């Protein structure tokens, strides 16, 4: 498999073995939830069953009363990456996407209190709506784009990626010291401020300004 085989969203969905998520990578989001600014990247994972594309509905997990959206820039891995270094990390990127790290915030709050994993809060089926693909050759600087998320037509999140705490080479170097990233895997780089409660019937539009945009409906 090489990068040209995943030029469409459907293709890298089929290749992905996991979605690696970075938490608290934007100061304003860490602060809006009352969390400390991390000293090193904070990682968790979503299974491939969380991956949905346009046309598939967002569905809250059973019992969730506080479902949140988190718009995030996604890095799509183009070359198997293990123990790579910052200096050539960008060579391992096949392209970029934008996704929602859907979060059952009430489940997460409960897990945080118990010191328990976030798995249920973060990786329920359909918890990762993914939209669009930009080959890395078409996006020279992923740290110089604007992410946006609108709910029912109203701006909810809008932020440039240059304010990430840990940049993409740092995230890839750190991540791959511990586990291998396979072709098609997606690394979600954290959400900016503006997460909020999502309700049944909402329409969520999100993307990279001027580049990719997609629309998902909430069941
Ligand atoms: O749940 C959280 O607040 C952590 C997270 O995913 C993020 O910062 O993107
Ligand atoms: Mg997130």
- pLDDT tens digit string along 111-132? 999 999 999 999 999 999 999 9
pLDDT band at 6 (very low <50, low <70, confident <90, very high): low
Q: Which ligand 1 atom minimizes the distance to the CA of 68?
A: 1
- Distance between CA atoms of 189 and 187, rounded to whole angstroms? 6
pLDDT tens for residues 30-41? 999 999 999 999
Residue 183: name the closest of 32, 113, 81, 99 by CA. 81
Question: pLDDT-derived band of residue 75, with 50, 70 and 90 as boundaries?
Answer: very high
Q: Is 101 in the pocket of ligand 1 (CB under 6 A)?
A: yes
- Residue entry with tokens 């489940």: 107
- Residue 87: how many CB atoms within 10 A of its CB? 9
How would residue 11 be classed by pLDDT, with cut points 50, 70 and 90? confident
Cα–chain-centroid distance for residue 158?
Answer: 15
Residue nearest to atom 5 of ligand 1 (CA): 23
Over residues 66-95, the mean pLDDT reads 97
Closest ligand 1 atom to residue 105 Cα is 1
pLDDT for res 185: 96
8 pLDDT more than 70: no
Strands, DSSP E only, in 39-194? 42-46, 51-52, 67-68, 71-77, 93-100, 103-104, 128-135, 146-151, 154-160, 186-188
Enumerate domains of the chain plus CATH numbers.
6-217 (3.90.850.10)
Q: What percent of the chain has pLDDT over 70?
A: 95
Element (H, E) at 106: helix 105-114
The predicted model scores a pTM of: 0.96
Please give the distance, rounded to the nearest whole angstrom, from the Cα atom of residue 35 to the centre of ligand 2. 13
CB of 173 shorter than 6 A to ligand 1: no
Q: What is the model's pLDDT at position 1?
A: 45
Which candidate, 71, 90, 174, places its Cα nearest to that of 130?
71
Q: Which atom of ligand 1 is nearest to the CA of 33?
A: 3
Check residue 95 and give its pLDDT.
94
The residue to which tokens 């946006």 are assigned: 148
Counting from 1 in the atom list of ligand 1, the atom nearest the Cα of 118 is 1
Neighbours of 93 (CB within 10 A): 22
Residue-level length of the chain: 219
Asked if ipTM goes beyond 0.85, one says: yes
* Tens digit of each residue's pLDDT (9 = 90 or more) over 138-175: 999 999 999 999 999 999 999 999 999 999 999 999 99
Does residue 44 contact residue 70 with C-beta atoms inside 8 Å? no
> Is the per-residue pLDDT at 93 higher than 70?
yes
Give the integer Cα–Cα distance in Å for 93 and 19: 14
Helices (H), 50-104: none
β-bridge pairing 128-135 and 51-52:
parallel
Q: Is 105 in the pocket of ligand 1 (CB under 6 A)?
A: no
Mean pLDDT of all residues belonging to the chain:
95
Best of 22, 70, 118 for a ligand 1 pocket test (most atoms within 8 Å of beta carbon): 70
């Amino acid at each position: 498999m090489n990068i040209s085989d995943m030029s469409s969203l459907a293709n890298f969905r089929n290749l992905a073995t996991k979605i690696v998520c970075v938490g608290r990578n934007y100061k304003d989001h860490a602060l809006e939830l009352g969390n400390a600014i991390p000293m090193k990247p904070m990682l968790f994972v979503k299974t491939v069953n969380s991956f949905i594309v346009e046309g598939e509905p967002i569905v809250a997990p059973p019992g969730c009363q506080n479902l949140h959206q988190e718009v995030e820039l996604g890095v799509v891995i183009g070359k198997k990456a293990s123990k790579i270094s910052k200096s050539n990390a960008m060579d391992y990127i096949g392209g970029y996407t934008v996704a929602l790290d859907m979060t059952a915030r009430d489940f997460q709050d409960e897990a945080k209190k118990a010191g328990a994993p976030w798995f249920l809060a973060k990786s329920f089926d359909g918890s990762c709506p993914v939209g669009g693909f930009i080959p890395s050759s078409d996006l020279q600087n992923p740290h110089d784009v604007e992410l946006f998320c609108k709910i029912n037509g109203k701006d909810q999140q809008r932020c440039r990626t240059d304010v990430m705490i840990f940049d993409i080479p740092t995230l890839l170097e750190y991540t791959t010291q511990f586990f291998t990233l396979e072709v098609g895997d997606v690394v979600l780089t954290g959400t900016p401020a503006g997460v909020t409660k999502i309700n049944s019937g909402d329409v969520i539009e999100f993307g990279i300004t001027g580049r990719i945009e997609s629309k998902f409906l909430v069941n």
